[in-house]
Amino acid sequence: MDTSKLQFGLNYIETDSVVHRLNGVTKLVLFLCWVTMALTSFDLRLLCGLLLCGFLILHLSKIPFRVYKPFFLFMLYLLVINALFMFLFSPLQGVVYMKSKTVLFTLSNRYVVTQETLFYLLVIVVKYFSIFPVALVFVFATHPTEFAASLNKIGIPYKVAYIVSLTLRYLPEITKDFVNIMHAQQARGIDISKKVSLWRRIVNVSKVLIPLLLSSLDKADVIANAMTLRGFGKKKKRTWYNEKALQISDVFLLVGIAIFVAFFAYMRLRADSLFWYPFFRG
């Protein structure tokens, strides 16, 4: 496939990569275990390792950076804003967790910038950002129908599996509808650029999101009617066109994931404190 022709979007992209050749269930197990470890750990060493490994997997999937660049920048923006508001509402939260206080400089009587709070905010940013590359890999490198067939094969009812498949297929449609509605609203004179105030931009974005919501509800109704007319759900079993069996590589990877998760749980339970803090505690 000519990756130079790939456009912006949040949908399955077929490339000749080792990640694409993995079974859908393997990628789901990897994603769920990855999210669980990232959300339950506050060890910056582990989180940085997950972040680097995540981007390595994303690189191995051969998805061009320009395809997910908008999501990359938007995620960074959200994490920075989240860290800023966490500091505004609780400027000494890091001091509470690290049980020490190293003042770097003072902004006001309430807002004191400490080394511990900056470290805490760094951990939070890396924690959530470490999920980002694997989430992109799961969406970009997992064929919806093959994934649904894999779920059904391990015992999940095909109705549930098919709902998952429809969800993955619908993500690019939502992106496409959002862009079309945004262009239509801009043609009507609705501006969401930096030329207008922040409040006006929020109001104008709502004029894009509301039609998007209504359009999504209409499409969901059309899909439900089409599935009913085709007799979906009347049989207890169904066949899958894109069914894919587990390969040796999937088995080895699943065993590796199980070993790593067990090691992570062991290290997490024997840790003396919630945070790993490399600096001296006064």
Residue 9 has a pLDDT of 55
Confidence at 242, pLDDT banded by 50, 70, 90: low
Tell me the percentage of the chain whose pLDDT exceeds 70.
93
Confidence at 205, pLDDT banded by 50, 70, 90: confident
Q: What is the pTM of this model?
A: 0.74
The sign of the torsion formed by the CA atoms of 13, 14, 15, 20 equals: positive
Residue 165 has pLDDT above 80, yes or no: no
More confident residue, 79 or 236: 79
Reduce the DSSP state of residue 133 to 3 states and report it: helix
Neighbours of 264 (CB within 10 A): 17
Neighbours of 207 (CB within 10 A): 14
The alpha helices in the chain, defined as continuous H runs, are: 24-40, 44-60, 65-89, 93-98, 115-129, 132-140, 144-153, 158-187, 198-229, 248-270
**pLDDT per residue as tens digits for the range 74-122:** 889 999 999 999 998 888 888 888 888 888 888 888 888 888 889 999 9
Rounded CA separation 138/179 (Å): 23
Taking all residues of the chain, what is their mean pLDDT, rounded to a whole number? 82
The sign of the torsion formed by the CA atoms of 116, 122, 128, 130 equals: negative
**pLDDT per residue as tens digits for the range 29-63:** 899 899 999 998 888 888 999 999 999 999 999 88
